[in-house]
């Protein structure tokens, strides 16, 4: 059986058309965001919507909770859908909801989005206080039940403390190295070395604000960055987390950046004059374009085995090591 193709972060405006594109692109598994700022009950409403999609489009997608589901997806010609949060808001202030969310199928949770949360500091805050008391307790509980700690939007000290405090390897599901492009959301060499030395995973983002050159970033430049990261950190710790927001209306950016925490408008990484989604690079418009990325990686100084790992094999291994109870 061929190595799996996994995209470990998307927030698309899902529809049967996108599910079909996943199949056309040979995508075996996708980690989808089901919460940005939602409360527990609002997150459950999102799960209800996904249950209808699973019921109506079971020939294309199914709910996934374990690594074996990736293999099942390959054998059945479908796409396995894994759930994750980009903010801990669905657990509210109740550590018991960590296990409940895991029982509902959630396998990833960021400890913060761009702001300070009850657990950790987001990357847009001026001061980074690190993990909070609740944050340390929640990390231990996530380790126990088999939910992956994700620090994609968290600040530097908080991320380093999460790596150190977690008894299991953690993930940065969608970001790029700051030495390649110094965006606020990209991660320092110190963070990436600590992450990978502890067995963690980095998913490379194709969201234009995270790319050198933005929407004009070339495939060659992106893949050369991945090859350099493989030399620095080891290819076995690398994968894709495209941050694909396909078909989302521009109004969703405001929800992502603002939620309910301010009456103003926070454009975040975008331009104050163009707060919507930036155009994707010409070589990656959606789920049918992963073959282009694979070809770009094969053109670099990477072996076929390393490329197979980056395209999904490494995430598959990480799932097997991470989703069961400790």
Q: Does the residue 56 lie in any domain?
A: yes
8 Å CB contact between 39 and 89 = yes
Is residue 174 situated within a structural domain? Answer: yes
With a cut of 60, say whether residue 126 has pLDDT above it: yes
pTM score: 0.96
**Mean pLDDT (the chain, rounded):** 95
Burial class (CB in 10 A: 0-12, 13-18, 19+), 77: exposed
Upper half-sphere CA count for residue 72 (Cβ side, 13 Å): 13
Residue 249 pLDDT: 82
- Integer Cα distance of 188 and 125 in angstroms: 16
Per the model's pLDDT, the better-predicted residue between 285 and 266 turns out to be 285
The mean pLDDT value for 235-242 works out to: 98
Bridge partners, residue 177, by sequence = 187
Across the range 31-53, mean pLDDT stands at: 97
For residue 35, give the nearest of 79, 119, 91, 80 by alpha carbon.
91
* pLDDT at 272 > cutoff 80: no
**pLDDT tens digits, one per residue of 65-77:** 999 999 999 999 9
Give yes or no for residue 243 having a pLDDT over 70: yes
Is residue 134 included in any domain, yes or no? yes
The domain containing residue 167 runs over which residues? 6-322
Domains held by the chain: number: 1
271: pLDDT strictly greater than 60: no
The pairs formed by 133-138 with CB atoms below 8 angstroms and a separation of 24 or more are 134/93, 134/95, 135/111, 135/162, 136/165, 137/95, 138/88, 138/91, 138/95, 138/98, 138/111
Q: Is the pLDDT of residue 282 over 50?
A: yes
Alpha carbons within 13 angstroms on the beta-carbon side of residue 83 total 22
CATH number where 251 lies:
3.20.20.140
pLDDT band at 267 (very low <50, low <70, confident <90, very high): low
96 CB-contact burial (10 Å; exposed 0-12 / middle 13-18 / buried 19+): exposed
Please state the rounded mean pLDDT for residues 263-287.
Answer: 76
> How many Å apart are CA 103 and CA 107, to the nearest integer?
9
> CA-based Rg of the chain, rounded to a whole angstrom?
18
Token pair for 154 = 């968290």
pLDDT of residue 38: 96
> What is the rounded CA–CA span in Å between residue 124 and residue 312?
30
Distance CA 21, CA 41 (A): 30
Q: Decide if 1 is inside a domain.
A: no
Q: Is the pLDDT of residue 60 over 70?
A: yes
The string of pLDDT tens digits covering residues 307-322 is 999 999 999 999 999 9
pLDDT score of 230 more than 50: yes
pLDDT digits (tens, 9 = 90+) for 156-209: 999 999 999 999 999 999 999 999 999 999 999 999 999 999 999 999 999 999
Query: Which pLDDT belongs to residue 265?
Result: 74
Given this model, what pLDDT does residue 274 score? 55
The number of residues making up the chain comes to: 326
Q: Is 199 left (phi over 0), alpha (psi -120 to 50) or beta?
A: left
Write down the residue that tokens 């970033």 correspond to: 217
User: Within the chain, where are the H helices?
Assistant: 16-24, 40-56, 68-76, 96-103, 133-145, 156-165, 189-197, 219-233, 251-258, 290-298, 304-308, 314-322
Q: What is the DSSP letter of 278?
A: P
43 with 278: CB under 8 angstroms?
A: no
pLDDT at 326: 77
pLDDT the model gives residue 70: 98
Q: pLDDT tens digits, residue range 130-150?
A: 999 999 999 999 999 999 999
């Amino acid at each position: 059986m061929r190595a799996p193709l996994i995209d470990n972060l998307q927030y698309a405006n899902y529809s049967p058309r996108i599910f079909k594109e996943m199949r056309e692109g040979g995508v075996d598994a996708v980690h989808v965001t089901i919460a940005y700022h939602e409360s527990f009950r609002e997150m459950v409403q999102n799960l209800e919507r996904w249950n209808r999609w699973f019921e109506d489009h079971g020939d294309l997608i199914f709910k996934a909770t374990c690594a074996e589901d990736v293999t099942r997806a390959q054998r059945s010609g479908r796409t396995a859908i894994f759930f994750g949060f980009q903010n801990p808001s669905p657990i509210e202030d109740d550590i018991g909801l960590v296990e409940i969310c895991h029982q509902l199928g959630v396998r990833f949770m960021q400890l913060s989005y761009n702001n300070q949360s009850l657990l950790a500091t987001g990357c847009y805050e001026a001061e980074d206080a690190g993990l909070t008391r609740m944050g340390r307790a929640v990390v231990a509980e996530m380790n126990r039940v088999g939910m992956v700690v994700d620090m994609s939007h968290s600040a530097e000290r908080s991320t380093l403390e999460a790596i150190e405090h977690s008894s299991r390897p953690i993930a940065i599901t969608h970001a790029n190295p700051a030495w390649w492009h110094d965006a606020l959301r990209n991660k320092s060499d110190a963070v990436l070395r600590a992450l990978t030395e502890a067995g963690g995973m980095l998913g490379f983002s194709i969201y234009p604000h995270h790319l050198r050159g933005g929407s004009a970033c070339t495939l060659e430049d992106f893949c050369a960055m991945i090859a350099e990261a493989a030399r620095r950190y080891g290819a076995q710790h690398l994968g894709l987390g495209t941050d694909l927001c396909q078909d989302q209306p521009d109004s969703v950016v405001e929800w992502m950046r603002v939620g309910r925490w301010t009456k103003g408008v926070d454009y975040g990484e975008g331009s104050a004059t163009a707060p919507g989604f930036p155009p994707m690079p010409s070589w990656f418009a959606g789920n049918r374009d992963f073959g282009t990325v694979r070809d770009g990686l094969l053109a670099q100084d990477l072996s076929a085995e390393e490329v197979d790992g980056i395209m999904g094999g490494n995430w598959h291994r990480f799932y097997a090591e991470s989703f069961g109870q400790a």
